Amino acid sequence: MDGAFVGSFGLMALLAFVLNIAFVVVVVGIAFLGIRWLMRELRTPPIGGSAAPTEDGALAVLRERFARGEIDADEYEQRRRTLGG
């Protein structure tokens, strides 16, 4: 056998081995990133919704009543403190 043929065949085998390893690393990386993205999507609330109300409904009603003049400042402050706002 010719020495050059054996040497080039060994180089081709090494190249095939390296490309196979690179392919496996890329596939595992894509799978990892996909699972990570999916977990993040499942954890976040949908667009337009929120996990918790941004404002207590009772405090909002109290502010509206104060703004319309139905209650004065003293009554507003007393009720706001009672509601914990």
Instruction: Name the token pair of 63.
Output: 């502010």
Q: By three-state DSSP, how is residue 33 classified?
A: helix
- CA angle centred on 57, ends 48 and 85, rounded to 5°: 115
Annotated domain spans of the chain: 1-44, 50-85
Q: Cα separation of 83 and 66, whole Å?
A: 15
* 1 secondary structure, DSSP code: -
Please tell me the predicted confidence (pLDDT) of residue 20. Answer: 98
Under the banding of pLDDT at 50, 70 and 90, the label for residue 1 is: very low
Please tell me the predicted confidence (pLDDT) of residue 2. Answer: 52
> Which one, of 4, 24, 22, 2, lies nearest residue 14 by Cα?
22
Q: For 17-76, write each residue's pLDDT tens digit.
A: 999 999 999 999 999 999 999 998 888 766 665 555 555 788 888 999 999 999 999 999
- The answer to pTM > 0.75 is no
